[in-house]
Structure formats: structure tokens, C-alpha cells
Chains A and B, each alone.
Chain A
Amino acid sequence: MRADRALRFCGREGRGREDFKTFSVTLPLIIYRSLRQHALSTVVTAAGIALACGLLMCVWMVKTQSQAAFTQTTAGFDAVLGARGSKLQLVLNAIFHLEASPGNVAAADYEMIRKHPMIKTAIPIAVGDNLRGYRLVGTAPELFTNVEYSPGKKFAVQAGGNVFTADAKEAVAGSFAAQRLKLKVGDTFRPFHGLAYDPKAEHADEFKVVGVLEPTNTPVDRVIWLPLRGLQTMSGHDPKAATDVSAVLLQLRTPMAGLQMDMMYNKQGNRLTFAYPVGAIVAELFGKIAWFDQVLALVAYLVALVAAGSVLASIYNSMSARRRDLAILRALGAKRRTIFGAVLAEAACIGAIGAALGFAVYFGLFAGVASLIRSQTGVVLDLGAGHPVLWLCPVGMIALCALGGLVPAWKAYRTPVAETLAPVS
């Protein structure tokens, strides 16, 4: 900033307007020069604020977005029926393709619920194999043709591909898995037994990729889908369990059906678990790990406080060095409140610089965390999503820094001009 630009518009109209112009036009120059004179401490302090601000925004956004994404990710199903065990494990396994399956559901049980009048759709899945770490899930082709994974959205196969047929050794790859494994239509592969990749556990069966799904930004993207029968009858699998499924994904005709099924399977029965509603069960998970969010938020708040304290310390410590400058400004006619305002605005400016840099920290951190969450769960967090915290946090940080500037501003306000400029003679 050049003086002529900063001061060009200082007018000579009324006193009030002059005061305002002095304050609004001269102040930026004073602040700019002071920040330049103390460039190192400005940069270090702003970096601390950037870290605090970025961390706070990232913790908040990851928390809210992941919570929303996970609780809204139901793959279009209301409930999951699986072996007796934890509802959360069942949902994580069947919907998010995480965790191991708690056990199998007998073919008879699957058939019974499929034909139940309160069930609109029942899609069986079978798990237990992988392709270089990416989960293979056996299912019925109806998953891709009949189910909306979110309102109004059906699965779509990319151009040049199609959905597998129920009795073929074919596969449809989720977009993320296909990208990572470099799978394309026409490729063939042999599955590996188990959910964790073990090169020695390769099956003899060979599957051909006949389609790659369009991205859905759901856990489905991380999965390679096979016909249910193909997975059940894979060489090396127990022939006695060849008709069992790992879980059944369910769409209910009415919400009341969920309560009745809950009564039937969970309270009256003891062989199977009916996980309903899916979103509420995932929300329970977030309830259980809420302490982790709180610890992260606490750390971020502490960093923010330390950053504000560092603004106070850095400006306060530089006060003796700048005391003379302040006294000269006063001798030139600057009012006490101008000096007070200059120091306070300088503190707020450091906060603003830090907050602006905080967005870079935020984007970097968020992108890293989002990428990790996507690769681990398939859930996509939106870097460009808005949230009030994205302006509340920077504004709060600036306010906190201005608060930190109050003490040095008061010290500046009280600078004795005559004593500071020269010894009394």
C-alpha cells in the first residue's frame, strides 16, 4: 500500500467527517506499516491463528458432514435382516461394507421375509471374498434395476457395460474400486478368500467385468458386485452354506412394518437380528464416538485460545519498541482513541490474515480427511459445502484476536508523549 493511495481521499469537509477519514484512511497505513515492521511475529502469529481456525473448521465440517452422510446413507433400504448379533455390526457390514458379517441367514429365512406382505423389496447379499482388498459382494441383479439408492436415483452402469446376469461368472465394479484396481469392461479376475487381502488365498473361479457403475458417492462405489450364486458357490466355500446369505436388505411397505418386524425378530425371536431404522443405528455409532469429536474440538479451542494469547503477547512485547512511534504519532496530533484503535485493528488484522490462511489449512486438512474417509468407507464429503461455521469461526477468531489486542491497545492509549519523546529539560 502506498501512502498516496492510502491517504489520497483525506478531505477537508467537516470535523466529524475528517475524524472518520483520518480513522478509516490513515489507520490502514499505520496498521500496514506496523505489520511490516514486525513481519516475523506477524507471520508466526498469523500462522498459529490459521492453524487454529483451519483445525476448528475442519473438525466441525468433518463431524457434521460425516454424521449427515453416514446417517443418510441407507443405500435406499429401511432395514437389514442378519444373523443374531449387533445391529450396528449388521448395518456396517451390509450397508457400509465395513466390518465382518455377524453370521449367515438361512435360505428359508430369506425366502420367508422376501414373501412377507409388509416387505416391498428384499435384496440378499453375501460377503466373504475380496479382490486385492476391495470387497466382493454377491447380490441379485434387482439391486441395480429396482432400487433407488437415494430418492430419485437409481444405479447406472457406465456406457459400454451392463448388469451381470444372475447365473453368470460376471462382475459389476463400483466406480471407486474400478478406478483403484484399474478394472474395465472385459477384464477378468480371480477373487481372494476372506475380507482381508491374502495373495495365497486366491480362488480358482474367474469372473469377467461386464460393467462399471457410475459414481454414487456411497459405499457401493468401493464394492465389486457378483451374482449371489457366483459367490455362494465359489470353489473353496462350504457347500453346506451354499444357499445361505450374509444379510437381507429390506424396503418396507410402511414404517409400522419396521416396528412389527422388530417385535418379531428381535424381541420374540432369538436367531436373527432386524436392524431398523438404518439411519438411527448409525447415529448411535456417532453417539458412541462423540467423545472423540469433543476431544478434537477441545484441542482446536485450546489452539484458538493460545493463538489469541500469542497475538496479545506479540503485540504487547513489541509495545516498548513501538512506544516511540506511538508518541510521535500523538505529537503529530493523533488522538488517543486513534492510537487505541490502531493497535486494536492491528490485532484484528493479524486475526483476519490468520483466518484467511485458515481456509488454506481447512481445505488441505479437509481434503486429506475426506479422501481417507472415501477410501475407507466410500462416503464422500463435500469440500465445497457451506456451513455457518465457515464464517462464524473466522469472525470469532478475529474477535478473539481483537480481544487479545485490548491490553496492548490500552498500554498504547496510555503512552506518555512528552516522556517518551525526550527527557524533560
Chain B
Amino acid sequence: MLAVTALKKSFVAPEGDRVRIVDVAHFGLGAGEQLALRGESGSGKTTFLNLIAGILAADEGRVTLDGQEMTALSEARRDRLRAEKIGYIFQTFNLLQGYTVLENVLLGMSFGPGADKAHAAGILERVGLQHRLHHFPRQLSTGQQQRVAVARALANRPKLVLADEPTGNLDRRHAAEALTLIREVCREQNAALLLVSHDREVLGAFEAQQDFAQINRVLAEAPR
């Protein structure tokens, strides 16, 4: 479902040098599969997820999602593919503060297959926010905001859900609940889940784990 081949990305450091952040020879994820990537802060995990999502353009290499090579697409086509096939859960939730809970979910849908109010309301009910549809994010608790982010990511029935430290801003109890919710909803929708975290408890909940240092050759080559 997801195949990454010879993916490279570097940035220009403040000193002017090009610094390679990601160098992944091969990475793959099957349909409905759930995998946790373990990695320290600054290891390039977010960059890797952004490359898969098509938010960042790779310097080299290929990302193939559901049979479509994202890296060969124009930026506009990548945007559409992301909207249609990828759900992204951010550590800071990245909710649109000026929009209601329902609008946050509907807007995400409108860039993809199309807004469907009944489906949006349904998925918000699934995450327990049926009574908060017309609330603004600032009127919700942190845990509730996280659930909105989950609903938004899953609303388009994506093939792949990317979760970047999704429980980083939650306390232990809420983190465990959020993680369970994400995994359950992904299973229900048969969406593959790629989660990156440095939190051992989060990682411990996954049957399948991988050390990002093992797949990112930049880290393997770097002195420890």
C-alpha cells in the first residue's frame, strides 16, 4: 500500500551547508497495517512523514501510495492525493481555531472526495463529540481537541493515517485513550497507521515497532 524507495531529503542549514535529514533506502506498509516508528526528537521522523504525505518534496527517491507514485506528481496532484488518501494527525492537533468542530472535519473532507455532513457528524459521534459539533476548538479540552483531530484525519476514509507524536500533548490517561481510539478507528476503516513517537508507553502498545534509526541511513551513519 505504501512503498518508499531511496528517499532522500536535505535542508540548507543556517550556516549555508546542505544537511541531509532523511535517507531511507526502503520502507513499506501494507493495507490496514499498524506500525510504530521509534525515534528521538530531531531524528527526522516528522520530515519523513511530511515526505510521505507529499507536504515536502523529496530530493530523490520514490513514494508510492496505493499504486500512485506521489513523487512523480505535480504539487497540486500531490495535494489532492493527500486530501483523498492520507489522514494526518499532528502532535499539536493543528485545528483551525476560527472554525467549529464540524467545520474542521468538513473542510478536511471538502479538499478530498467531498464534504459529507452526515458522515462527518457520524465520525464525530464515533469519537464521542456528537454534542460538540458547533463548538470552537478553544471551547474544548485538550483531549477533546485531539479527538477532533482524529475525526478529521479519518473523515475521508483514508488509506493511510500518519500520526506524528499524537499523544505528545496529553496526560497519560488521555494519551492511552487517544491511542486506543486512533487504533480502533483505523482498524474499523481498514486504514494503515504509521505512528511516530519517542514515548515508550505509546510504542509499547504496538505489536509492530521499528526503530527509525534503522531505516534512516543518516542516523545510522551519524556518530552516536
A interface, CB within 8 angstroms of B: 3-4, 7-8, 10-12, 15, 18, 21-22, 25-26, 29-30, 33-34, 36-37, 324-325, 328-338, 417-418, 421-422, 424-425
Contact = CB atoms under 8 A, between A and B. Distances in A.
Contacts of A22: 110-111
Interface in B78-98: 79-80, 82-84, 88, 90-92, 94-98
B50 A418 contact: yes
B21 interface: yes
Contact of B79 (A3, A11, A333): A333
Interface stretch (B23-31, B39-47, B185-193): B39-47
A417 B90 CA distance: 13
Interface of B: 11, 21, 41-47, 50, 53, 55-56, 75-76, 79-80, 82-84, 88, 90-92, 94-100, 102-103, 106-117, 152, 164
Nearest to A425: B46
Contacts of B94: 324, 328, 331, 421
20 contacts: A3-B100, A3-B102, A3-B107, A4-B106, A7-B107, A10-B110, A12-B114, A25-B110, A26-B111, A36-B98, A331-B90, A332-B83, A332-B88, A333-B111, A418-B46, A421-B92, A422-B46, A422-B90, A424-B11, A424-B47
Contacts of A425: 41-47
B92 A422 contact: yes
Contacts of B76: 335-337
A223 B33 CA distance: 95
Q: Which 8 A-B pairs have the closest CB atoms?
A: A333-B83, A333-B111, A7-B115, A3-B103, A10-B114, A10-B115, A37-B98, A26-B110
B110 A7 contact: yes
A285 to B, nearest CB: 56
A7 B152 CA distance: 15
B97 A7 contact: no
A332 B46 contact: no
Nearest to A3: B103
B113 A12 contact: yes
A29 B107 contact: yes
A337 to B, nearest CB: 7
A329 B45 CA distance: 22
B108 A333 contact: yes
Given A10-B116, A338-B111, A418-B47, 10 more contacts: A7-B110, A10-B114, A22-B111, A29-B99, A29-B107, A331-B88, A334-B79, A421-B94, A422-B91, A424-B11
Contacts of B82: 331, 333
A109 to B, nearest CB: 81
A8 B114 CA distance: 9
Nearest to B118: A4
B39 to A, nearest CB: 8
A325 B92 CA distance: 13
A424 B21 contact: yes
Given A329-B96, A333-B84, A333-B108, A8 B117 contact: yes
A25 B117 CA distance: 14
Contacts of B103: 3, 29, 33
Contacts of B164: 422
Contacts of B42: 425
B98 A330 contact: no
A294 B70 CA distance: 60
B196 to A, nearest CB: 9
Contacts of A10: 109-110, 114-116
Contacts of A7: 106-107, 109-110, 115, 117
A34 B55 CA distance: 23
B98 A33 contact: yes
Nearest to A13: B114
B170 to A, nearest CB: 17
A19 B117 CA distance: 18
